[in-house]
Structure 1
Amino acid sequence: MKLLGKKSFLSLTLAGMMALTACGGGDQDTAVKDKGGAASAGPKKVVFWHAMGGSNTKVVDQMVADFNASQDKIQVEAVFQGTYDDLLSKLKASMGTKDGPSLVQMYEIGSRFMIDSKTITPMQKFIDEDKFDLTQLEPNITGYYSLNGKLNSMPFNTSNPILYYNKDLFKAAGLDPEKPPQTYEELQKAADAITKTGKATGANFAIYGWFMEQFFANQGADYVNNGNGRNALATESLVNSDAGVKTLTWWKNLVDTKAANNLGRKTDDSKKAFSAGQVGMILESTASLKGLVDNAAGKFEVGTGFLPKPADAKEGGVVVGGASLWIMNDRPDDEQKATWEFIKFLTSPKEQAYWHINTGYFPITKKAYDEQSVKDNLKKFPQFQTAIDQLHQTKLNSATQGAVMGVFPEARQIVEGAIEEVLNNKKSPKDALDAAAKDITSKIQQYNKTVKQ
């Protein structure tokens, strides 16, 4: 596949990659300072740009400090760059200069862009050279970041969505608090029962495109053509297929019957309503589990269940969300190798256990679950077993590997707009999704012109 000139490609794709996402955050920049040409006299410097805001910044900083203290040949500098979108903008501005990072964290929906930009060294190169055993990592996590049998980036912060429910409201509605709904139909009945108690609204789902993507995967349905963009570049959105129409029709019916309410796009609003006992069920990332359980302490017991799907759905599962780590190819070979050493450190069971316990993201390394700290954490937060089981029961196929397209952030925004139109009674599910598919398809084809000649 031939590319246009790097500057041309970047300018053509910049607009399509600016979108809001669920993770990352913060609004202050940290400048990367060039310490001059003394690097050769001391340890090899590795600059790591990331978007882990809030308390997660401290976790990243601690892992970096631990690595730096573990040896004296490499010195990693972690630089928080704001939200994922902020980071992406700064990365693009740095391309072609000497001011860029050695290693960058990129959200999962930026994967196609990173590959097409030709600015990265595939992780597979270092894996092969080092004979690194990939089987030690979770296959359903590495599967997302693999294309044509090649792992392009190393998974870092990984999550998927689960159903959270208020066990006290389930009891009050005469529902079994140990049996969360597994299907669309069961969720409708449970939500109806909770709403009828007058104590709370049955459910709320934030208008978040990630959820629609997950509902597709859970029905074994591809989101874009060409094997979800994995057999060849995607050329067409499939968001208006039966899986989408069925899901949005169900979602609208929940709202129309008062079994669910519509609080808009902000997942924080959905979480606040749940924590206040105002809604009985929500969909949220596994990374939110600790916060939701802590917020409910002393008020009600939080239950967790798998993401629901239609009773007649094909076999499916969930797609991992979050972000991964990419090595930039404009850095010297020895710097790239030093970066790989840091990445191997991050994937160790001990570091993955620390990461999981302190952030709520999945460990990507299987043996992390053998660490006593992880076992103790699971006893404290048994709800997380649901997330582990859901990940492990997902069978890897094109649907559950997740869609790959260069305009994914834009596509997510378009789908959210379609959901809003339906829930606000402006369009039918089919009409809204038809329009969304047409718009996304057009943008995919425009993007593809920048990477194909």
Structure 2
Amino acid sequence: MAKKGLASLFMAVIMVFITACSVNMGEGTESKKAEPAKSGTAPAASGPKKVVFWHAMGGANTKVVEQLATNFNASQDKIKVEAVYQGSYDELLSKLKATMGTSEGPSVVQMYEIGSRFMIDSKAITPMQNFIDADKWDASQLEPNIAGYYTLGGKLYSMPFNTSNPVLYYNKDLFKAAGLDPAKPPKTFEELKTAADTITKSGKATGANFAIYGWFVEQLLANQGAEFVNNGNGRTAAATESTVNSEEGVKVLTWWKDLVDTKAANNLGRKTDDSKKAFSTGQVAMILESTAALKGLVDSSGGKFEVGTGFLPKPADGKEGGVVVGGASLWMMNNRPDDEQKATWEFIKFLTTPKEQAYWSVNTGYFPITKKAYDEELIKTNLKQFPQFQTAIDQLHQTKLNTATQGAVMGVFPEARQIVEGAIEEVLNNKKSPKEALDAAAKEITSKIQTYNKTVK
């Protein structure tokens, strides 16, 4: 394809995707195999090969990313990585957009998991599988339930980076005060309702709170073995319609509404920070949150109460399912010369080593993506300090990988998440029944998927 035509495709796809990218922070056929960009036009530079890494890890995590780059730079003298914070995922995507179809931009970019379909459709990336195959690199060292999200059609498109799952956090002291067993977190929707009712009636706190976050609905569907979109969650072929209004989806919102209606749970809106604050101050006994929030929640409890963790609940009669990884992965940009891409691959391999993964996990709260990282003393020591994280590890490892637990893949995922959040609000505010709200959400998401698919074609 000529450069002008390729640039036009980039812009068309980007404009559909970028309008969807204000989110609350989750295989189609290929027309052509992506290949590494051809070098030879640029003169050889003296000194170390420069690799530019764009990321969206803000706050304390910025320093952790910078340390990883420093560690790599100190390990050899042929490549120098520059880690550049670009703001939120949405801000990063907007900046990346401006470089597509040009010879500018980063060597490697971090992109949230719900941007995966877009990154593939943009034709602006070189699949990681190309480098894995050429290098005969052992991909089995990666956690299969993490790599599974970014694998489509048997090909690993990007390297997992920051990875999390949702778990149930609960206040063991409030459980004990209400006469509940603090060693037994609820496992089902029904058990959670009973526990939440009991705690609310004790008068010491509200039983539960779930932030209105579309990611939780995606997870609660997968935990019942249900898919979010058709065609194997968009993995056996490009998704053409949403199935969020399935029986499993209706069960989720019916249960959620009942919790709020009976005051077993309260509604604090969409901000997960509000939910975490209510939990940390002892106002609510149970919340759903990312595993990456564990250290912060334990620290913010300040010893006032003991934080417990449990698996994501599901209906007692729910089908076998599991959790879907959230977070982001690293994508190799194909507008960079061959030698730069190969240098970037060396950096990416370094990031997957057990030592670096242990450092990353302990300092951020994200899962290590490499199995052998759990053998590192740093991880073992951290688990002794935060034994609650074992719940997250067990939940990840007990999840059986299938199209439901691999997660949905679609080009309008950020917008779909917003639509689902709107549906939850309509249900909790008594504007629509769970079925009516999800039927409308599925119809709207389907329309946007079909528009996106036409744009890509």
Matched residue type, 1:374: I
Partner of 1:319: 324
**In 2 relative to 1, CA 161–39 (structure 1 residues): closer, same or farther, beyond 3 Å?**
farther
- Tell me whether 242-251 or 7-16 shows the greater mean CA deviation: 7-16
In 1, the alpha carbon distance for the partners of 2:91 and 2:396 equals 30
Task: Tell me by how many angstroms 1:247 deviates.
Answer: 0.4
**8 Å Cα contact 1:21/1:84 also seen in 2:** no
Partner of 1:94: 99
Matched residue type, 1:395: K
TM-score, reference length from structure 2: 0.94
In 1, the alpha carbon distance for the partners of 2:269 and 2:91 equals 23
Identity among equivalent positions (%) equals: 79
Task: Tell me by how many angstroms 1:298 deviates.
Answer: 1.9
In 1, the alpha carbon distance for the partners of 2:399 and 2:156 equals 19
**In 2 relative to 1, CA 145–279 (structure 1 residues): closer, same or farther, beyond 3 Å?**
same
Secondary structure of the 1:163 match is strand
In 2, the alpha carbon distance for the partners of 1:399 and 1:47 equals 35
Please list the CA deviations of residues 179-209 of structure 1 after superposition, one character each: whole Å capped at 9, or x if unmatched: 0000000000000000001110000000000
Task: Tell me by how many angstroms 1:296 deviates.
Answer: 1.1
Q: 2:134 aligns with which of 117, 129, 132?
A: 129
Please list the CA deviations of residues 17-54 of structure 1 after superposition, one character each: whole Å capped at 9, or x if unmatched: 4122429xxxxxxxxxxxxx897111100000000000
1:108 has 2:113 as partner: yes
Task: Tell me by how many angstroms 1:3 deviates.
Answer: 8.1
Alignment of 1:3-82 (within 5 A): 5-22=8-25, 40-82=45-87
Task: Tell me by how many angstroms 1:161 deviates.
Answer: 0.1
Gaps of 5+ in 2: 27-41
Q: 1:390 aligns with which of 395, 409, 429?
A: 395
Partner of 1:30: none
**In 2 relative to 1, CA 90–237 (structure 1 residues): closer, same or farther, beyond 3 Å?**
same
In 2, the alpha carbon distance for the partners of 1:176 and 1:39 equals 67
Secondary structure of the 1:42 match is coil
TM-score, reference length from structure 1: 0.95
Q: 2:235 aligns with which of 210, 215, 230?
A: 230
Please list the CA deviations of residues 351-380 of structure 1 after superposition, one character each: whole Å capped at 9, or x if unmatched: 000000000000000000000110000000
**8 Å Cα contact 1:182/1:306 also seen in 2:** yes
Task: Tell me by how many angstroms 1:7 deviates.
Answer: 4.2
In 1, the alpha carbon distance for the partners of 2:453 and 2:13 equals 13
In 2, the alpha carbon distance for the partners of 1:163 and 1:62 equals 31
**In 2 relative to 1, CA 53–232 (structure 1 residues): closer, same or farther, beyond 3 Å?**
same
In 2, the alpha carbon distance for the partners of 1:107 and 1:197 equals 41
Please list the CA deviations of residues 210-258 of structure 1 after superposition, one character each: whole Å capped at 9, or x if unmatched: 0000001000001100000000000000011101101000000000000
Partner of 2:36: none
Task: Tell me by how many angstroms 1:14 deviates.
Answer: 3.8
Q: 1:244 aligns with which of 234, 249, 272?
A: 249
Please list the CA deviations of residues 282-334 of structure 1 after superposition, one character each: whole Å capped at 9, or x if unmatched: 00000000000111132000000000000001100000000000000000000
- Tell me whether 131-140 or 4-13 shows the greater mean CA deviation: 4-13
In 2, the alpha carbon distance for the partners of 1:274 and 1:305 equals 15
In 2, the alpha carbon distance for the partners of 1:290 and 1:427 equals 37
Secondary structure of the 2:285 match is strand
**8 Å Cα contact 1:12/1:450 also seen in 2:** no
Secondary structure of the 1:338 match is helix
Q: 1:145 aligns with which of 133, 137, 150?
A: 150
List structure 1 runs of 4+ shifted beyond 4 angstroms.
Answer: none
1:408 has 2:413 as partner: yes
Partner of 1:439: 444
1:193 has 2:234 as partner: no
**8 Å Cα contact 2:24/2:270 also seen in 1:** no
Partner of 2:217: 212
In 1, the alpha carbon distance for the partners of 2:95 and 2:417 equals 21
Matched residue type, 1:75: K
Gaps of 5+ in 1: 24-36
In 2, the alpha carbon distance for the partners of 1:384 and 1:11 equals 37
Task: Tell me by how many angstroms 1:10 deviates.
Answer: 3.4
**In 2 relative to 1, CA 118–305 (structure 1 residues): closer, same or farther, beyond 3 Å?**
same
Secondary structure of the 2:207 match is strand
Count of matched residue pairs: 439
Give the RMSD, CA atoms, in angstroms: 1.5
Alignment of 1:293-308 (within 5 A): 293-308=298-313
Secondary structure of the 2:331 match is strand
1:359 has 2:364 as partner: yes
**In 2 relative to 1, CA 88–9 (structure 1 residues): closer, same or farther, beyond 3 Å?**
same
In 1, the alpha carbon distance for the partners of 2:293 and 2:235 equals 30
Partner of 1:164: 169
Task: Tell me by how many angstroms 1:16 deviates.
Answer: 3.8
In 2, the alpha carbon distance for the partners of 1:252 and 1:54 equals 35
Secondary structure of the 1:76 match is strand
Task: Tell me by how many angstroms 1:8 deviates.
Answer: 4.2
Secondary structure of the 2:319 match is coil
Task: Tell me by how many angstroms 1:93 deviates.
Answer: 1.2
**8 Å Cα contact 2:6/2:101 also seen in 1:** no
Please list the CA deviations of residues 45-84 of structure 1 after superposition, one character each: whole Å capped at 9, or x if unmatched: 0000000000000000001011011111001000000000
Partner of 1:373: 378
**8 Å Cα contact 2:7/2:101 also seen in 1:** no
Matched residue type, 1:98: S
Partner of 2:286: 281
